[in-house]
Structure 1
């Protein structure tokens, strides 16, 4: 099973630029294509760099959240500033989070690897806590030895 921990986190807010994922929630190929297209678009048009320029730290948040019965996907940063391009302030609650650590060759690959480990392995095997919804995020934290590293943060409640 993936290496994970359960950690207490303070509430925090992420400023996000997002897109609605229209593929069925079981259509992983479609979902991954929509996410890849979104990231390619915000990289090419400079939106991602603009978002990173107002960040208060080096973390990049890759957020998934259900909003008004829509599956949303965001690029986000912690900041006190705002940008006209942003689509949402994403509130993460104070409480316990499953934290899964990983590394990969790119930001996109890391987000996919962490999401797969967290939802495909860890959540199905832990018994002391449950994910009951709310935003979850892959946090791209930096690079080391040619690899991108980070963590998946999923808010959970005790069973």
Structure 2
């Protein structure tokens, strides 16, 4: 089984700009392209820089959340502040989180790699905990030696 930990986290808030993912939830290539196009847009139009300017740390969150039966994807930061036109304030619950760590050449690759490990290996094989919904996120934590490193945080409950 893949390398992972279970960690207790306090409630935290991520402020983000979002987009609805229109691809079928089983169309990984389509979803990944939509996410990639969205990230290019928020980087180019300055929305990501606006968020970074009010962040409480250097982490960049790629959040996935089901809202009103829609698959939503957000670029966000941890903050208590607000900015005009932000799409959503995302509350992450206090509790246990599945944490999968990794590194990759790009943020896109990191997000895809961690989601694949978490949802393709760890959760299907887990005997004592389960993901029952709620927001989950890939957290880009920094760069070293030309690689982006970070973690995927998924709220879980004990079985």
For residue 77 of structure 1, what is the aligned residue in structure 2? 77
- SS of 2:83's partner is coil
What residue number does 2:13 align with?
A: 13
- Consecutive unaligned residues of structure 1, counting only runs of 5 or more, are none
Deviation at 1:85, TM superposition (A): 2.5
Extract unaligned runs of 5+ from structure 2: none
Determine the structure 1 residue equivalent to 2:117.
117
SS at the partner of 1:83?
coil
- Equivalent residue runs for 1:1-150 within 5 Å: 1-150=1-150
Q: Deviations over 1:90-142 (max 9, x none)?
A: 01000001000000011121111111111011101111000000000001001
Measured on the aligned residues, the alpha-carbon RMSD in Å equals: 0.8
**How many pairs does the alignment contain?**
159
2:13 and 2:80 in contact (8 A); partners too: no
Q: 2: CA distance between counterparts of 1:8 and 1:80?
A: 21
Work out the CA distance in 1 between the residues paired with 2:19 and 2:128.
33
Instruction: Report runs of 4+ in structure 1 exceeding 4 Å deviation.
Output: none
Question: TM-score, with normalisation over the residues of structure 2?
Answer: 0.97
Return the alpha-carbon distance in structure 1 between the equivalents of residues 45 and 67 of structure 2: 25
